[in-house]
Amino acid sequence: MLRAKSSKKRVSLPLHFHVKKGDTVMVIAGKDKGKTGTVKRVFRSKGKVLVEGLNVVKKAVRPNPMAGQQGGIIEIEAPLYVSKVMLYDTKNNKASRAKVQKIGEQRIRVAKKTGEQFDV
């Protein structure tokens, strides 16, 4: 018996991202372009990040009497693709690409525009 090939494509994701949990980022594309927020969670397998207060979507929720939850429409934060966010330098109020510098034994992310360190 022959099997049909899977229609899912394999997506190669990087082993590491330019952002980490707790970083301040600026959105560079999409409906929230230009807004800043803090990274709450990183989804490595999906290539996405959850940013506090950004990409807010409405979701319909059914009531759950066991948990005492009311039904209705709620607003939640949805994950963004990591390529749509850029590290934000709070000292100079600019978004910048990051490069990795080796200082002694430590690897530190540094802003390319200003030279400020993101990992303190």
**Token pair of 61, please?**
């929720």
Place 5 in a pLDDT band, splitting at 50, 70 and 90. low
Calculate the CA 51 to chain-centre distance. 6
Total tally of structural domains belonging to the chain: 1
pLDDT digits (tens, 9 = 90+) for 57-104: 999 999 999 888 889 999 999 999 999 999 998 888 999 999 999 888
Q: Evaluate whether residue 119 is within a structural domain.
A: no
The whole-number pLDDT of residue 113 equals: 86
Q: Evaluate whether residue 96 is within a structural domain.
A: yes
Domain residue limits at 89: 24-111
- 3-state SS assignment for residue 5: coil
The enclosing domain of 51 has a CATH number of: 2.30.30.30
Place 10 in a pLDDT band, splitting at 50, 70 and 90. low
Helix (H) or strand (E) holding 75: strand 72-77
Q: Evaluate whether residue 58 is within a structural domain.
A: yes
Cα-flanking dihedrals φ and ψ of residue 92, to 5°?
A: -105, 0
Q: Evaluate whether residue 3 is within a structural domain.
A: no
Q: Evaluate whether residue 18 is within a structural domain.
A: no
Contacts made by residues 41-44, CB under 8 angstroms, sequence distance 24+: 41/79, 42/17, 42/82, 43/79, 44/13, 44/17
Residue that wins the pLDDT comparison between 3 and 101: 101
